[in-house]
Amino acid sequence: MGGDDRRHAVILAGGKGTRLRPFTTTLPKPLVPIGGESPILEIVLRQLSHHGFQSATLAIGHMGEIIHAYVGDGGRWGLKVDYTIEEEPLGTMGPVIAVLERLPEHFLVMNGDILTDLDYGTLLDAESASNAPITVATYHRDVHVDFGVLELEGNQIVSFTEKPMLEYRVSMGVYALARTTLGRYTAGEALGFDELMLDLLARGESPVSYPFDGYWLDIGRPEDYDRANADWPDTRQILLPPG
């Protein structure tokens, strides 16, 4: 399969979405509608098709039959969609390892509950052109600490900062990988993104950051869902490709 250069994405859609209850009581989180119009997962599939992806694998578990019934074979979005079923939670990368043999040399892995105008095709191209084991889409976050922060040496206070602002780059939940990166891991065993990153760093195989500063929202909590709906009149045009 080394010559298989098709654009393929593995979408993680098997979680229970417990933090988003009561919205996920009767619907799996990826099918929760945004702006009363389009489910999150449909937005993602339309974006992938728009950015030149030909196929996708949906990793489903909780209420997976509803997702399967809604998405079908993906033909209405110009995609060829297949499925892998998580009988038990396998972490972020475990479901990918389960289908590794049918993936192209480079592919995308992403959470099925994020809204972003990231160009998925450009991210995948960046990974394909590099020697990195994994390229992680990252986003700038400021964290305001509402307390005075002390630095200690033993019991001695050696510095003090009043209500500092900490700056980080965080993972967006979108990754581009080389198939060889996951080839050493065992199918059927759980493997989280955190475990993969720590293992790669310990081996001296450095992951690469793909900085992004457009729109990004991880819909994990009710307040995130409220924000997504409030943003929709302004974000619809950038998030929802025509067609």
Each residue's pLDDT expressed in tens, for the chain with a length of 243 residues: 345 678 999 999 976 645 545 555 568 889 989 998 899 999 999 999 999 999 999 999 888 899 999 999 999 999 999 999 988 889 999 999 999 999 999 999 999 999 999 999 999 999 999 989 999 999 999 999 999 999 999 999 999 999 999 999 999 999 999 999 999 999 999 999 999 999 999 999 999 999 999 999 998 888 898 999 999 999 999 999 876
> How high is the pLDDT of residue 25?
55
Cα distance between residue 34 and residue 32, in whole Å:
7
> How high is the pLDDT of residue 104?
96
> How high is the pLDDT of residue 95?
95
> How high is the pLDDT of residue 115?
95
| Tokens of residue 156, six digits | 């001695």
Picking from 106, 38, 104, the residue whose alpha carbon sits closest to that of residue 71 is 38
Cα distance between residue 131 and residue 178, in whole Å:
9
> How high is the pLDDT of residue 1?
37
Q: Is there a contact between 11 and 56 (Cβ–Cβ < 8 Å)? A: yes
* CATH architecture, domain 8-137+170-239: Alpha-Beta Complex (3.90)
Q: What is the pTM of this model?
A: 0.89
CA 73 distance to own-chain centroid: 21
> How high is the pLDDT of residue 241?
86
DSSP string, the chain: -TT----EEEEEE----GGGTTTTSSS-GGG-EETTTEEHHHHHHHHHHHTT--EEEEEE-TTHHHHHHHHTTSGGGT-EEEEEE-SS--TTTHHHHHTGGGS-SEEEEEETTEEE---HHHHHHHHHHS--SEEEEEEEEEEE--SEEEEEETTEEEEEEES-EEEEEEEEEEEEEEHHHHTTSPTTS---HHHHHHHHHHTT---EEEEE-S-EEE--SHHHHHHHHHHHHHHHHHHS---
Cα distance between residue 3 and residue 104, in whole Å:
8
